[in-house]
């Protein structure tokens, strides 16, 4: 089994993000919210990536999918 959290952390570090939050898993994709820890939050929409079962990372661009993933964090109380 792939370590999706670790894959997301490596991607986040490479792209200047400090925080990785697991959102949910659906249809074979694991969703993660990436955020900055010490920078102002005026970066626009949240940054969400999804990782397939093969380990391929895709940046989520669809706003409905982005906010669905963010709302999954809120539902789970994380």
The three-state secondary structure class of 54 is coil
34: how many CB neighbours lie within 10 A of its CB?
A: 20
φ and ψ of 41, to 5 deg: -95, 55
Q: How many CA atoms lie within 13 A of 63 on its CB side?
A: 2
Average pLDDT of the segment spanning 42-46: 75
The model's pLDDT over 6-32, given as tens digits with 9 standing for 90+, comes to 999 999 999 988 889 999 999 999 999
Residue 1: per-residue pLDDT: 47
Residue 58: per-residue pLDDT: 96
Nearest CA among 43, 52, 50 for reference residue 65: 50
Residue 26: per-residue pLDDT: 93
Residue 47 has pLDDT above 80, yes or no: yes
């Amino acid at each position: 089994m792939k370590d999706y959290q670790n894959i997301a952390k490596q991607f986040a570090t490479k792209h200047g993000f400090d925080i990785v939050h697991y959102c949910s898993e659906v249809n074979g994709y694991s969703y993660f919210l990436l955020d900055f820890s010490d920078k102002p939050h005026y970066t626009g929409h949240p940054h969400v990536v999804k990782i397939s079962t093969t380990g391929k990372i895709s940046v989520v661009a669809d706003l409905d999918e982005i906010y669905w993933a963010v709302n999954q964090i809120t539902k789970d109380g994380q």
